[in-house]
Amino acid sequence: MNADALLCYCRAGFEPELAAELTERAALCGLSGYARTERNSGLVEFLGTDAAALSRALPLSSLIFARQKLLRLADLRHLDPKDRITPIVAALEAAFPDGNAAPPYGDLWVEHPDSDEAKPLAGLARSFGNALRPALRKAGWLTRSDDTRRPRLHVVFLDGDHAMLAQSGVRDSSPWPLGIPRLRMHADAPSRSALKLEEAILTLLDDDERARLLRDGMRGADLGAAPGGWTWVLMRQGLHVTSIDNGPLRQHLLDSGRVDHLRADGFQWQPKAPLDWMVCDMVEQPRRVAERMATWLREGWCRHTIFNLKLPMKKRWDETRLCLDLFEQQAQKPLLIRARQLYHDREEITVFATPR
């Protein structure tokens, strides 16, 4: 397979952070290359001498600002609107010379970056996908029915006459188009912040971890809980929750019998006995949050945690790296740490940590 770049989606406006992350981590792996992007494009290209090696060295689960990670096979410009299919098939044949092909692919996603400029391409992506699928199946590049064991083929439209052809491995990519899980706001949720914790549980924990680490009867704490969005998510997972906030909670949480509300400062309160979980979405300086979260794990006040770090307006990659290093150092124990800027996050990242 001939791949010429790593292609990553991100939140529009955070392209410099993702570019800095890819550049630094590639260098730490001893791989050369450079990032190329445009502000608010929702997309970063990383061009290097060995894109496949870079992809192996940087699994999606290790990246913070990437929603999706693809291997680019071709950059197709000046496409004729009357026939975009022929150049795509030709590019596939060029990417797999000498019969060295892993296809047929198991699925096809026709997408566009999640940016204001690219959103008008959604209609084109849908209609073109309907035309391209049967053509690729006829040419032998796509299985007759979805096969999740095989690589996935992506066509990423940047304009009506400009598309990128890429592929992803199902074990090292987001399972959602554009890397965005489509979650519905539940009518009983006290706030939209509930979607952040729901996405974190879905994204930062795998199926086995969700089954083992979130069980009925466990106990947890929500620091800075009001009005109760994260408390509500934990309660729905079967936990009994102590909600810490001087502000009020929604009454139906208190009526559930699973929530105890303590009017206290989330940065000062500590549990009388170890808890299974602590979650925190307090608006505070990220280094202060990182230090307090580390204290919880170091002192054994909780076994697992999910928390948010609110990032500054400048040098956000530097601050992210500093806060995560500070958190790990001050916890003073081996930790499994995963961090991601979620779709429902804004100027923040979400962190999951548990002892190794």
Q: Which residues are marked as active site?
A: 310
Strand 259-262, strand 219-223: pairing: unpaired
Strand 335-340: give its sheet, edge to edge: 259-262, 240-244, 219-223, 275-280, 302-310, 348-355, 335-340
Q: For the chain, state the CA radius of gyration.
A: 22
281 assigned to a ligand binding site? yes
**Distance, CA of 338 to CA of 82 (rounded, Å):** 45
42 assigned to a ligand binding site? no
207 assigned to a ligand binding site? no
Phi–psi pair at 175, nearest 5 degrees: -80, 5
- Do residues 192 and 185 make contact, with C-beta atoms less than 8 angstroms apart? yes
What is the torsion angle, in degrees rounded to the nearest 10, for the CA atoms of residue 165, residue 199, residue 64 and residue 58?
-50
Q: Which of 183, 188, 190 is nearest to 222 (CA)?
A: 190
229 assigned to a ligand binding site? yes
226 assigned to a ligand binding site? yes
Q: Which of 330, 334, 323, 326 is nearest to 296 (CA)?
A: 330
**Distance, CA of 133 to CA of 120 (rounded, Å):** 21
32 assigned to a ligand binding site? no
Three-state secondary structure readout of 117-174: CCHHHHHHHHHHHHHHHHHHHHCCCECCCCCCCCCEEEEEEEECCEEEEEEECCCCCC
- What is the DSSP secondary structure assignment for residue 58, as one 8-state letter? S
| Residues contributing to the annotated binding site | 193, 226-229, 245, 265, 281
| Residues contributing to the annotated binding site for S-adenosyl-L-methionine | 193, 226-229, 245, 265, 281
